[in-house]
């Protein structure tokens, strides 16, 4: 395993982050036994960065992690969770108000059976709550020792910089990471967010590096719904499945065959070769998915490979964050 400092912080994280959105999803994810096996293999491979969120399987992902963490040294793991999305139908069970942020953090800590989070994300922008209220709440969690570092996810660059400026203005804790949507099929973050993060010394931890599985190269242009996940994945239909997307997938498969690796390794390796990228979030429902991700660390893409993979990309219409 290789490691990199998270932005300009002194926190070292593995170059692959294990995403746990699949943990506890009965139709398309993995059960607790398989999840624990994946976690053990990740740690045995030298991985330390584990990502979850309260909303993943309605807290089930955190609970599965909470059943695993007591069996390993806590300092071995860089544990991240998130808040923002609804965790119930009652008022104040969503958003980035002080009430919801603090309650969400404390609930995550209980489910995870730990005293602190290494990294706590706001999971998306709140159009209602003043940014001062949100950033002060996150700063308080850091000062209380419940959170070590904070990050943001899935927002416009102007929203991100506004939050950073607010933190700087008041002497509050700044974001050290951005978890954004970035892969070979969605590269709009290259316009502003990625240059912004590089300039500001913020680590980039992209989600969906395999484009909801399309870049694994196991689906065809005319039969994209073979897996249970694909059959129920409305977001994939929103983000992907353009004709040009399938042409890019074809090039990933072609490069993989030439290099003697699998397409997933090429897609992840492409991200690892891009400026500013710290650690892509890779989900896994089977051990072999994790093995492919770890092997991507050793895949070397030439400048010609990178250009060939990127050549067909066409800018998209504005995508709303979900």
Reading the block at residue 208, the tokens are 């969906």
Q: What is the DSSP string of 41-88?
A: HHHHTT--EEE--TTGGGGHHHHHHHHHGGGS-GGG-EEEEEE-S-SS
170 DSSP 8-state letter: H
In whole angstroms, give the CA distance from residue 39 to residue 18: 8
Contact 99, 138 (CB under 8 A): no
In whole angstroms, give the CA distance from residue 55 to residue 242: 29
Q: Cα-Cα-Cα-Cα dihedral of 90, 91, 93, 96, to 10°?
A: 170
Contact 9, 16 (CB under 8 A): no
Reading the block at residue 209, the tokens are 């590096």
Q: Tally Cβ neighbours within 10 Å of residue 254.
A: 15
238 flagged as catalytic: no
What are the Cα distances from residue 127, in Å, to 84, 134, 143, 154? 11, 11, 26, 13
Q: Which residue among the candidates 56, 84, 121, 239 is catalytic per the annotation?
A: 56
Contact 157, 194 (CB under 8 A): no
Reading the block at residue 67, the tokens are 């059943």
| Start-to-end Cα distance in the chain | 32
> Catalytic residues, which ones?
56
């Amino acid at each position: 395993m290789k490691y990199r400092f998270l932005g300009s912080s002194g926190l070292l994280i593995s170059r692959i982050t294990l995403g746990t959105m699949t943990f506890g999803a009965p139709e398309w994810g993995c059960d607790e036994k398989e999840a624990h096996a994946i976690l053990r293999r990740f740690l045995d491979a030298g991985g330390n960065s584990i990502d979850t969120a309260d909303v993943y399987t309605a807290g089930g992902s955190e609970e599965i992690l909470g059943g695993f963490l007591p069996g390993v040294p806590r300092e071995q793991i860089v544990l991240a969770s998130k808040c923002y999305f609804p965790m119930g139908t009652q008022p104040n069970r969503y958003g980035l108000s002080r009430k919801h942020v603090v309650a969400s953090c404390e609930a995550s800590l209980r489910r995870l059976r730990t005293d602190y989070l290494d990294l706590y994300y706001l999971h998306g922008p709140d159009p209602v709550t003043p940014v001062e209220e949100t950033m002060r709440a996150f700063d308080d969690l850091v000062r209380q020792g419940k959170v070590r570092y904070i990050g943001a996810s899935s927002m416009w660059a102007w929203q991100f910089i506004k939050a950073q400026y607010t933190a700087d203005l008041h002497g509050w804790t700044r974001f050290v990471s951005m978890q954004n949507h970035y892969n070979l099929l969605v590269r709009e973050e290259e316009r502003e967010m990625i240059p912004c993060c590089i300039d500001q010394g913020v680590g980039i931890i992209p989600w969906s590096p395999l484009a909801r599985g399309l870049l694994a190269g196991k689906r065809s242009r005319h039969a994209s719904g073979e897996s249970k996940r694909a059959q129920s994945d409305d977001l994939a239909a929103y983000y992907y499945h353009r004709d040009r997307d399938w042409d890019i997938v074809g090039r990933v498969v072609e490069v993989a065959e030439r290099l003697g690796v699998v397409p997933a390794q090429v897609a992840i390796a492409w991200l690892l070769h891009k400026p500013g990228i710290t650690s892509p979030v890779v989900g896994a429902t089977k051990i072999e998915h994790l093995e492919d991700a770890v092997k991507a660390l050793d895949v070397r893409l030439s400048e010609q490979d990178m250009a060939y993979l990127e050549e067909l990309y066409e800018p998209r219409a504005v995508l709303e964050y979900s």
